[in-house]
Chains A and B, each alone.
Chain A
Amino acid sequence: ILNVEQSPQSLHVQEGDSTNFTCSFPSSNFYALHWYRWETAKSPEALFVMTLNGDEKKKGRISATLNTKEGYSYLYIKGSQPEDSATYLCARNTDKLIFGTGTRLQVFP
């Protein structure tokens, strides 16, 4: 993998469903992986910065895992709520952030 890739591109779920999406990145010369949450017309908001293989981080109902050897990170949302609707961006750090295309999540009440 040469670039940062995210899947799926978009996701529609019902309120209360749990969901997850994937970020894939080049595993060589890894330094850190960032997850951002971006609501329309607002600033992208940092969720997690992950550096160690096997890292797991949690913020409320949102959690993330990191596998640096195989080059992927998962973001999980437990019991999705309408306010979780946003685009979720991951970015690999070199000395600048290289972003994926994002996963656009829509949670329906």
Chain B
Amino acid sequence: EPEVTQTPSHQVTQMGQEVILRCVPISNHLYFYWYRQILGQKVEFLVSFYNNEISEKSEIFDDQFSVERPDGSNFTLKIRSTKLEDSAMYFCASSETRTGANVLTFGAGSRLTVL
């Protein structure tokens, strides 16, 4: 069964460093998402991406965050200068159509620890 893959599974970084989280969505999916879960809190929406541009972003997704699809297969989330509060599990997801009755397929997540 097709799956969304994410790398790395766990990254430890120093505060202020740049981090890139990578995702390979399902090949025929057109909509891509990043969510995150800070330990003990809800899974939160960060950003949605379609047709090579951001469709929607949350308040969390400030200027420190960026996304791109550099080569038509990978979908990356970059955090420019990490803060302690960026420590979380980051989930990538993709779907065939815009979220609605359509199911999102999630990756297993990338755990980011900022020291």
Contacts and interface: CB of A to CB of B under 8 A. Distances in A.
Q: Which of B42, B103, B109 has the most chain A CB within a 10 Å cutoff? A: B42
- Size category of the B interface is 20 to 34
Interface string A30-58: 01101010000111111001010000000
Interface in B17-44: 33, 35, 41-44
A98 interface: yes
Interface of B: 3-4, 33, 35, 41-45, 48, 55-56, 91, 98-109
23 contacts: A31-B100, A32-B100, A43-B3, A43-B4, A43-B91, A43-B105, A43-B108, A44-B106, A46-B103, A46-B104, A49-B101, A49-B103, A93-B100, A95-B48, A95-B55, A95-B56, A95-B98, A95-B100, A97-B43, A97-B99, A101-B41, A101-B42, A102-B42
